Structure 1
Amino acid sequence: MGRRPSAITLQQLHYFIEVAAEGSISAAADLLYVAQPTMSAAMKDLEVRVGRALLVRSARGVTLTDEGAEFLGYARQVTEQVALLEQRYLGRPPSRRLLGVSAQHYSFVVDAFVRMVRGSEAAEYEFSLRETRTWDIIEDVRTLRSEIGILYRNDFNRNVIDKLLRDFGLAFRPLFLAEPHIFISRKNPLASRDRVTLADLADLPRFTFDQGANNSFYFAEEILSTLSSRREIRVSDRATIFNLMIGLDGYTISTGIISDDLDPEIVAIPLEADERIEIGWIGHSGIPLTQQAQRYLDELRAVVAEFGVELLG
């Protein structure tokens, strides 16, 4: 009978997590004060033990194979559980918390992130929040730069988004449905209206988030992206779009969920349109979330629920 492979060690899991995060064996070795040959040998030994390639090595560093991405999800789970055991039974301080989130430009994403950080019991943490383009959100989650991505889909973009996610081994999990609203300055003449129509917006500047090289209608962050506008301005960040709303009396279309604390000068007005916006999170198919990611999603649902929005999951 063949010899059974030796067990995976917790140290190897820690090493692997850092290698994946840094995208480099040498950078991970420097971070953990380990000799580079030792780190490289540990990664090769780990691959032998699991019987499959986890890393693709090149002159530019390392990337994860599909199996490596799946393995990383389980490695994070194991190390987090061990840290919780040590905290509970050995009196160790709470472990360093890690989480990356990439999202389209929604204030409720920031609200939930703030609550998560404030509620963290960790003495040390390293969180990241990227408001970015639709393609980059998907790429961040695919490469595990972020554990979670937040974006929207509707009847127009659903098939394209879902196919792309399947091709990358990702899945969309719905969070809530929202009626379309326009975001405008409180000083905009439409701010006193109960509802607005597309005809009301015909002469106003329309602000949209720039999607860079992937500026397809299917990757637009706003619904009704195929409708033409005589005055169109593309921007790259939420602060700029809100400042332009105030300065130019323009609008953008979104969910209607907006933070009075974070964006006090902006209001949401319902838009008459035969559309609904489905907001969800994306992650790797079949890879369990870390407890920190679950905490963030719990905070996200709590924020949204305060607006009376229909939760889906």
Structure 2
Amino acid sequence: MTKEDAYKTAYIREKKARQLAEKLLEDKSRQLYENVLNLEGVVAELKTTQAQLIQSEKMSSLGQLTAGIAHEINNPIAYSYSNLFYLSENITEFFKLDKIIQDNLPLKDNVDSMLQQYQSMRKEIDADYLITDIPSLLADTIEGVERVKNIVNNLKKISYKGDEAFTAFSINDCIKECIKVSANEIKYSMSINLELSDCGDVMGQPYDLNQVFINLFMNASHACSAHGILTITTTQEQDNVIIYVQDNGRGISEENILKIFDPFYTSKPVGEGTGLGLPISHGIIEKHHGTITVTSEVGVGTCFKISLPLASPPIN
């Protein structure tokens, strides 16, 4: 083989090797591109599933709250309706009294007859009693409507999402609003002890943190008997606001406490818990650059500790 033939053979061999490498690279690139597309699809599905699970947990918490809220709203509405019905029946009697006067006013010589009819009608409808009773009924009705109005306003405050931007707000105010709403559900199983100290504002989304606190309050209620105590404490430690949510309920075993933030883990009976409340709460606290931990003792109770950074750290 001549030198020229050897060079030609080497060139052809190198060209084939390069073409093979290019084809392999093209195949790998195409495969990589398809894998990226598949991963993007999987990520999109996971995000959708996550959003659905979060919404499911929100609806579960809302469903638990709704039972207590419906009871609280139903009572004032029931007696307000009864009062208004009673007033509507008796107001017509006063219209009759007024009609007696109006009909007889033009008849100047008929005063005695008019007074007789008037006194007779007053006695028949027991006007003296109605005059003393109606103001009380109206006051009770107004109070009932005010109670419903306050409940609705509290719900609006804790459910208002606003925009996605973080804002500075008082964690104490956030806790108080959540207590107002949760109290309708938990007041039958426990008393509430607030120990809120003067703390600086935190930076975050009140709507999301409302979900965390309501979930913790509801869990505490479910863990307690009819004489439970829920103690909520806030304090400031250096650059953080610390929140303790403590109950004297049945507690959590050492084995289960390791799984408490795992998705779908729940100690509640089937159908009564999604197992997502605490994992979602954990994620919300992490999004706020904070931490959430738990300590518990069976038969003694459970304490959640949340640490959130101050919106404006103190100047040393």
TM-score by length of 2: 0.17
Larger-gyration structure (1/2): 2
The structure with the largest helix share of the pair is 2
Q: Which has the higher contact order (CA 8 A, sep 6+)?
A: 1
TM-score (norm 1): 0.17
The structure richer in strand per residue is 1
